[in-house]
């Protein structure tokens, strides 16, 4: 696929697949690193129970659905955020200057829930609609094990649909989008092989279903990127600063230059598990 084809497909559908962006050795390294992260060997994860020395890797992994900010614990995951194949595609889609602000490690073993329809820009609001997710499959992602589903073209209107809590046990505690002019029958499952990456627009409606497989995981590492030119009003502004200047600076520049480098960087978000139905469930 040429860069022009990739860009026009992305603009039309809101997503594009980078087949085999990572080789099997790179995927195996990430899978091993996921165990170290989950064991707490690389540092604390807020909300996680400590694992005992006698726990098998399976015991440990199955305790987790999703860990936010693993790139703050793992150099391997931080390096993946900067992976050449991914960053090169991102510069074609976003522009020469690209920053990342979030990573998420999904384990999602059998029986674990999916996530209801949503748009990522509702959670991570850029000012120029440049938010782009890189969803890297660490296992072959299939309908059976809970791959992502998308509503092609749903990003194009540039509208953020309302959100509400739900009690649908197929999905985790994150809110769901509703009131959008698309029907579930238009949804497309994105089955991709381990090592492939789904790049998708922050306005694209997407969801995942539970891992209904009888055994195994549906692991994925998801990184979020945006144009480095846009401010990111993701946190409440500090006292005395007005909202128009709010700019989340806990970022990693992955390409080009950062026009706001003069502000410096922050390290404010800590690795944590995604909340459960009884706890907070912010993203």
Ligand X SMILES: O=C(O)CCC(=O)C(=O)O
Q: Which residues bind ligand X (CB under 6 A)?
A: 106, 114-115, 120, 133, 135, 148, 206, 208, 220, 222
Tokens of 195: 């090592």
Specify the DSSP class assigned to residue 248: -
Measure the N-to-C terminal CA separation of the chain; round to a whole number of Å. 33
Instruction: Indicate the residue among 121 and 229 with the shorter CB distance to ligand X.
Output: 121
Give the residue closest to ligand X by C-beta. 208
Task: Please report how close the Cβ of residue 161 comes to ligand X at its closest, in angstroms.
Answer: 15
* Residues in CB range of 256: below 8 A, 6 or more apart: 91, 95, 96, 97, 98, 228
Instruction: Indicate the residue among 206 and 249 with the shorter CB distance to ligand X.
Output: 206
Task: Please report how close the Cβ of residue 220 comes to ligand X at its closest, in angstroms.
Answer: 5
Task: Please report how close the Cβ of residue 214 comes to ligand X at its closest, in angstroms.
Answer: 19
Task: Please report how close the Cβ of residue 28 comes to ligand X at its closest, in angstroms.
Answer: 20
Instruction: Indicate the residue among 115 and 154 with the shorter CB distance to ligand X.
Output: 115
Task: Please report how close the Cβ of residue 165 comes to ligand X at its closest, in angstroms.
Answer: 17
Q: Is the dihedral of CA 102, 72, 84, 138 positive or negative?
A: negative
What distance in Å separates the CA atoms of residue 175 and residue 115, rounded to the nearest whole number? 9
* Residues in CB range of 196: below 8 A, 6 or more apart: 17, 18, 19, 20, 21, 136, 137
Task: Please report how close the Cβ of residue 68 comes to ligand X at its closest, in angstroms.
Answer: 11
Q: Residue 5: phi, psi to the nearest 5?
A: -60, -45
The three-class DSSP label of residue 4 is: helix
Angle (CA) 230-205-2 rounded to 5° is 70
Give the CA-trace dihedral at 156, 157, 163, 168, to 10 degrees.
Answer: -50
In 3D space, the residue among 106, 188, 89, 203 whose CA is nearest the CA of residue 148 turns out to be: 188
Instruction: Indicate the residue among 207 and 249 with the shorter CB distance to ligand X.
Output: 207
The residues that bridge with 176 in the sheet, in sequence order, are 164
Task: Please report how close the Cβ of residue 73 comes to ligand X at its closest, in angstroms.
Answer: 19
The structure tokens 């909300």 sit at 47
């Amino acid at each position: 696929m040429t860069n022009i084809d990739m860009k026009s497909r992305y603009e039309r559908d809101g997503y594009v697949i980078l087949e085999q962006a990572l080789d099997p050795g790179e995927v195996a390294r990430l899978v091993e690193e996921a165990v170290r992260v989950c064991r707490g060997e690389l540092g604390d994860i807020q909300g996680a129970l400590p694992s005992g020395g006698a726990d098998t890797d399976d015991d440990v992994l199955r305790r987790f659905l999703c860990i936010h900010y693993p790139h703050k614990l793992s150099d391997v995951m931080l390096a993946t955020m900067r992976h050449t194949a991914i960053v090169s595609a991102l510069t074609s889609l976003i522009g020469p200057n690209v920053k990342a602000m979030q990573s998420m490690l999904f384990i999602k073993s059998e029986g674990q829930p999916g996530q209801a329809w949503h748009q990522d820009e509702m959670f991570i609001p850029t000012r120029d609609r440049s938010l782009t997710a890189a969803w890297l499959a660490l296992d072959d992602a299939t309908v059976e094990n809970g791959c992502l589903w998308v509503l092609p073209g749903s990003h194009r209107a540039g509208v953020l649909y309302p959100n509400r809590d739900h009690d649908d046990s197929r999905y985790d505690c994150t809110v769901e989008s509703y009131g959008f002019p698309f029907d579930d029958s238009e949804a497309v499952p994105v089955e991709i092989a381990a090592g492939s990456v789904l790049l998708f627009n922050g306005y694209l409606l997407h969801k995942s279903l539970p891992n209904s497989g009888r055994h195994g995981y549906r692991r994925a590492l998801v990184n979020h990127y945006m144009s480095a030119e846009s401010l990111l009003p993701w946190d409440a502004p500090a006292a005395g600063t007005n909202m128009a200047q709010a700019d989340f600076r806990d970022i990693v520049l992955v390409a080009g230059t950062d026009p706001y480098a003069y502000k410096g960087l922050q390290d404010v978000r800590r690795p944590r598990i995604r909340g459960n139905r009884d706890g907070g469930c912010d993203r």
